[in-house]
Structure 1
Amino acid sequence: MRRLPTVSDVASAANVSRQTVSNVLNTPDIVREETRARVLAAIERLGYRPHASARRLRTRVSATIGVRLDPGADGMAGALLDRFLHALVEHADAHGLRVLLYTAADEDTEIATFQRLLDGSDVDAFVLTSTHHGDRRIPWLIEHEVRFVTFGRPWGEHDMTDASHRWVDVDGRAGVAAATASLLAGGASRIAFLGWPAGSGTGDDRRAGWRSVLQDAGVPEDELVALDLAVEEDPRDLGFAARAVRALDPQPDAVVCASDSLALGARLALGPGVPVIGYDDTPVARALGFSSVAQPLDAVAGAVIELLQRDDGAHHRLFAPALVER
């Protein structure tokens, strides 16, 4: 596939900034005539064609949003994404927008799908899920000036200030902190955290909520390290989580977990007599009767649709979750 010229290519060829190219395309009156002529000459020479996705979304010529069906989402994680997609379709429909679902085996395939859908004017914007550190999809969409919103923040120092990346997320740190505080208030003192290995933005954020509450309660650092359990989550084998909890000596008198899948593993290890709090409030948590942190998925989906259509500089929304106690 031939690589299409981007706004960065035009900026480099005209020896100006990306913002200047954007000004020439959108508000040419504020650009000096000499600079404007140089940018327009570079556009002509390179054959650059600006994407009309943002304009089409506002004018609803196509008004279609592309969303990937993640092939890796199964079990409880898949149920969470299904609920989000259902809410997203409902909010899109209320605004006269449509949702187009597509599949991709990996990031390279998905980026190629972006190009195909945009070239055919099939979609105007994208909603991304399952974002992670080093996600190559995000810089590609920014570079090609395609409007998008991610369910999940960009973990980094510019989370709150980079307007090129629109995102909606749920404050996992606050949710796990509330769960930990609830266990303390209920009389627990040796509270373990069962989460994922370090390096996951979402997992590290949730772990930080547990750690901050116990630090404030005066729990020594060596005890925090001993109670911090990290396992790779596998919905087909909950034994990893159960064995990690059973290995603690002495056993914890409560466990707060980064997901309901991990909470199920903890319940298998400890039985119903030890309080366990999960995350995501899935049907499993409700069926087995353990507490869990619920994400406001309907509000998240509504905010995603809102940000896709706004042009006033708003670029992120962070929601508070709710502890559902059972």
Structure 2
Amino acid sequence: MSKAPTVEDVALRAGVSRQTVSNVLNTPDIVKPATRERVVAAIEELGYRRHAAARRLRIRRSSTIGIRLDPYVGGISGVVLDRFVHAITERASERGMRMLVYSARTAEEELARLAELWDGSEIDAAILTGTVRDDPRVVRLDEDGLPFVSFGRPWGTDDIADPKHLWVDVDGAAGTRAACEHALGFGPRVAFLGWPTGSGTGDDRERGWAERMADAGLPGPRLTAEEGVLPGRLAVEAALAAGLDADAIVCVSDSLAVGALLAVAAARRPLPVIGFDNTPTAEALGFSSVEQRPEDVAGGVLRLLMGPTGDVVVPSRPLAGSAHVLIEPRLVVR
């Protein structure tokens, strides 16, 4: 059996891009008539019309939103995304929508799964999580015409003043700024334990610490570790052995905070440690941590995706001031 024609096949036959084919299928009015005729001719020649038209002209919607269930990797901070998936499922149900949860190990697997669900009219939109700098999923979903909102900024591909995509994110800088404010109550030297530079989320959280310390005129030491309890412990142990001068440590995650706590306990140095994510581990061990409020993130995602009408309505060009929701976290002091 020959392979069914794809969007790429149509684009190649018509001599246009994937995005142009997607525009003809989903928003034909924005395509020049001559170009549109070439694409339609290619669709007819290849026999792609039935498949695309079924999706675009379907009488009823699926009333379903797709979201990836990340592979289980253990650790402490993964519970935040689990809370978000539960919250978005509950809130979508309240608005008459269903969530379709699918699994994918890589970005390519996720894109293939989304294409299958979108082409089969099984979903009306998607929610992306775990965005990274220059996220390849954003470009592909734009080309395919699949409406989506991301939990996390598409770092490096979007601009607040000239938005291209819809996203909801937690204001990480505000969170660490609040953590620093609290930590300064223990003394003027507040250290920061963060991830290596280059992570959009990590850099944003570090910025809050740096700005608050600069405002106070009290630059503090910056420690670096990969995510995880053991890397965090080793980084703080090395810093303490080198004579770390700090009155408290603000951490980029609860995992690193646990590692820092183990290190200061072993050194018998009672340094306050503040985490980020407010996981059950932070509550169990009794250390302060920044709460991301994933339930509020879920509400913001659905407001952007569905608007006041109750239908999935993602504009082709989002407007500045209405394309993003930035959730301010809160510090839970223990």
Please tell me the TM-score bracket, short chain as reference.
0.7 to 0.9
Higher mean C-alpha displacement, 300-309 vs 196-205: 300-309
Deviation of 1:131 after TM superposition, in Å, equals: 1.2
C-alpha separation in 2, matches of 1:65 and 1:158: 23
C-alpha separation in 2, matches of 1:51 and 1:260: 48
Q: Which whole-Å deviations, capped at 9, do the CAs of 1:194-247 have from their partners, x for residues lacking one?
A: 010000000011111111111121135xxx4xx111101125765334434434
Indicate if the aligned counterparts of 1:53 and 1:124 stay in contact, CA closer than 8 A.
no
- 1:323 corresponds to which of 295, 306, 331: 331
C-alpha separation in 1, matches of 2:53 and 2:228: 40
Indicate if the aligned counterparts of 1:142 and 1:165 stay in contact, CA closer than 8 A.
no
Deviation of 1:90 after TM superposition, in Å, equals: 0.5
Q: Which whole-Å deviations, capped at 9, do the CAs of 1:122-146 have from their partners, x for residues lacking one?
A: 2222111111123221111111000
- In the alignment, is residue 261 of structure 1 matched against residue 255 of structure 2? yes
C-alpha separation in 2, matches of 1:144 and 1:51: 14
Secondary structure of residue in 2 paired with 1:121: coil
Secondary structure of residue in 2 paired with 1:75: coil
Paired position in structure 1 for 2:240: 246
Indicate if the aligned counterparts of 1:195 and 1:230 stay in contact, CA closer than 8 A.
yes
Paired position in structure 2 for 1:43: 40
Q: Which whole-Å deviations, capped at 9, do the CAs of 1:67-124 have from their partners, x for residues lacking one?
A: 1111154222221111111101001101111111111121122222122222322222
Change beyond 3 A, Cα 1:53–1:94: farther
Paired position in structure 2 for 1:231: 225
Paired position in structure 1 for 2:302: 305
C-alpha separation in 2, matches of 1:140 and 1:131: 14
Secondary structure of residue in 1 paired with 2:78: helix
Change beyond 3 A, Cα 1:248–1:98: farther
Change beyond 3 A, Cα 1:304–1:217: same
CA RMSD of aligned residues (A): 3.2
Deviation of 1:280 after TM superposition, in Å, equals: 0.8
C-alpha separation in 2, matches of 1:72 and 1:241: 26
Paired position in structure 2 for 1:4: 6
- AA at the equivalent of 1:69: L
Number of aligned residues: 312
- In the alignment, is residue 128 of structure 1 matched against residue 122 of structure 2? no
What is the TM-score when the length of structure 1 is the normalising length?
Answer: 0.83
Change beyond 3 A, Cα 1:267–1:315: same
Paired position in structure 2 for 1:288: 285
Higher mean C-alpha displacement, 301-310 vs 144-153: 301-310
Indicate if the aligned counterparts of 2:26 and 2:145 stay in contact, CA closer than 8 A.
no
Change beyond 3 A, Cα 1:111–1:38: closer
Deviation of 1:46 after TM superposition, in Å, equals: 4.1
What is the TM-score when the length of structure 2 is the normalising length?
Answer: 0.81
Deviation of 1:250 after TM superposition, in Å, equals: 3.4
Q: Which whole-Å deviations, capped at 9, do the CAs of 1:139-168 have from their partners, x for residues lacking one?
A: 111110001111101223733145442110
Secondary structure of residue in 2 paired with 1:137: helix
